[in-house]
Amino acid sequence: MDSALIPKGVKRCPFGLFLVWIGILQIPFLIGVIAYLVCWGLALNQTYLNNNYPFGLWIAADLGIIALGGGAFFTAFLRYIIKIDELKNIVNFATVIGVMCYAAALGILAVDIGQPLRGWHIFWHANVHSMLTEVAFCISCYFTVLLIEYLPLVLENREINKFGFPRSFAHHLHEAMPAIAAIGVFLSFFHQGSLGGVPSVLYGRPFAYREGFLVWPWTFFLFILSAMACGPCFTILITRITETFAKKQLVKRNVIDILAKISGWLLGGYLVLKIIDTISWGVSLAPSVGAPAGSFYANQPYGWWVLITEVGILGIIPCIILLSTRARQNQPLLILACLLNCAGIFMNRWIMSVQTLAVPVMSFDKFFSYHPNWAEWASTLMWVWLSAIVISISYRYLPIFPQEKELNPL
């Protein structure tokens, strides 16, 4: 039925089966839509957020998703600026993942803010001192860049490409891609870093507060590095999930190996700096405000295990796997490393946002715990299902994987 739209030389499942698949994905997606409507219609009292936890799952997810979406800018950087040619075989898919990650980040912010219709105030009444202003500007601009990077893929659809204007426009966009990618890289460096600055400029919250270089706290640089380290792993992970559902190999293993190796080195560098930063905070900054480092880990569930899990299990272990050629080429181990790396980044973002608020600052303040409710989960996970739908449609109709024909001859 839709065979005219499917790229030449590749095989796709029957249209009916595809519709069933999209229909299944729409069920949890619609639950997410209901959660959105409930939060917008009845206000944020429908969540478990409160005055002690003004930030919760939504902000942690935003920080995490943007780090995972870092695979788009970093792969584009490696492909177009560092000129690693093999990565042309995965850069398209990294872009699709990036588009959905950033769409999710913006979409989650739209439900997180108390007055969504006033969201434009952040641009109109911009406070240049606020890290959030920098984040908002850079994310919006970079999302536009990602859409421009995604556009040629859409225009290369078989039917659209038959027309002269879309064909030539797509060609010109391809020509301009290194420049567009460079703009994207510049914007990404800033907003990934600014996200690190969001908790770390809060000098009233000694758990997150960091000193730094000029106006940028040290976490500004740690967030950039960690996004570069986990973004490629997330791209690998989603590629492998897509391959599992498609029941075929879509990208050659040497391409995956390049990304995994680079990710390993960056993760190693990040971990060294993260450990230095944590020790320096523990021996210098925390005591300077009268609080021994241990006091920040005194409230369960945020005990010392949090730090050990984040740096050790979700940091050092995947780093060792990714740096070892033998371990990296063992596919289950590679997937495990990617999973741990991505989980580590999510945990780091949760710690920097939610744990920061969990630690009582006044001596007579009490600790309260927080966990997200169904509305928060459903509205956050809604973007997972929507992303699956967009990736499924993109995979079916657009030439995303250049090596597919070669790897799967008809």
Residues that bind another protein (CB under 8 A): 43-45, 49-55, 112-116, 118-119, 121-122, 124-127, 129-133, 136, 198-199, 201-206, 287-292, 295, 356-357, 361-365, 368
Task: Report the C-alpha gap between 242 and 238 in whole angstroms.
Answer: 6
User: In this complex, which beta carbon is closest to another protein, that of residue 199 or of residue 232?
Assistant: 199
Which residue from 257, 233, 244 is spatially nearest to 318, judged by alpha carbons?
A: 233
State in angstroms the smallest separation of the CB of 307 from another protein: 18
C-beta separation of 361 from 205 below 8 A: yes
User: In this complex, which beta carbon is closest to another protein, that of residue 139 or of residue 388?
Assistant: 139
State in angstroms the smallest separation of the CB of 55 from another protein: 6
Q: For 201-285, where are the alpha helices, taking DSSP H only? A: 218-246, 253-280
User: In this complex, which beta carbon is closest to another protein, that of residue 8 or of residue 125?
Assistant: 125
C-beta separation of 205 from 356 below 8 A: yes
C-beta separation of 182 from 81 below 8 A: yes
Helix (H) or strand (E) holding 213: strand 212-213
State in angstroms the smallest separation of the CB of 255 from another protein: 39
- In single-letter form, the type of residue at position 70 comes to G
- In single-letter form, the type of residue at position 55 comes to F
State in angstroms the smallest separation of the CB of 167 from another protein: 42
Q: Which residues of 119-143 are buried (b: 16+ CB within 10 A; e: fewer)?
A: eeebeeeeeeeebbbbbbbbbebbb
Question: What angle do the packed helices 91-112 and 15-42 form, to 10 degrees?
Answer: 30
Which residue from 229, 223, 316, 222 is spatially nearest to 277, judged by alpha carbons?
A: 222
User: In this complex, which beta carbon is closest to another protein, that of residue 144 or of residue 295?
Assistant: 295
For tokens 């919250």, name the residue.
205
State in angstroms the smallest separation of the CB of 270 from another protein: 25
User: In this complex, which beta carbon is closest to another protein, that of residue 44 or of residue 386?
Assistant: 44
User: In this complex, which beta carbon is closest to another protein, that of residue 74 or of residue 207?
Assistant: 207
In the three-class reduction of DSSP (H, G, I as helix; E, B as strand; rest coil), residue 378 is classed as helix
State in angstroms the smallest separation of the CB of 14 from another protein: 46
Task: Report the C-alpha gap between 401 and 256 in whole angstroms.
Answer: 13
User: In this complex, which beta carbon is closest to another protein, that of residue 137 or of residue 186?
Assistant: 137
User: In this complex, which beta carbon is closest to another protein, that of residue 18 or of residue 137?
Assistant: 137
Task: Report the C-alpha gap between 217 and 185 in whole angstroms.
Answer: 20
Helix (H) or strand (E) holding 212: strand 212-213
Kindly list the distances between the CA atom of residue 194 and the CA atoms of 54, 107, 198, 201, 394, in Å, as whole numbers in the listed order.
19, 19, 6, 10, 31
User: In this complex, which beta carbon is closest to another protein, that of residue 20 or of residue 298?
Assistant: 298
399: left (phi over 0), alpha (psi -120 to 50) or beta: beta
Task: Report the C-alpha gap between 100 and 147 in whole angstroms.
Answer: 10
State in angstroms the smallest separation of the CB of 356 from another protein: 7
State in angstroms the smallest separation of the CB of 59 from another protein: 9
DSSP assignment of 115-149? -GGGTTHHHHT--TT-HHHHHHHHHHHHHHHHHHH
User: In this complex, which beta carbon is closest to another protein, that of residue 287 or of residue 303?
Assistant: 287
State in angstroms the smallest separation of the CB of 128 from another protein: 9
State in angstroms the smallest separation of the CB of 67 from another protein: 19
User: In this complex, which beta carbon is closest to another protein, that of residue 121 or of residue 162?
Assistant: 121
State in angstroms the smallest separation of the CB of 43 from another protein: 5
Kindly list the distances between the CA atom of residue 130 and the CA atoms of 64, 194, 230, 257, 355, in Å, as whole numbers in the listed order.
20, 9, 26, 39, 21
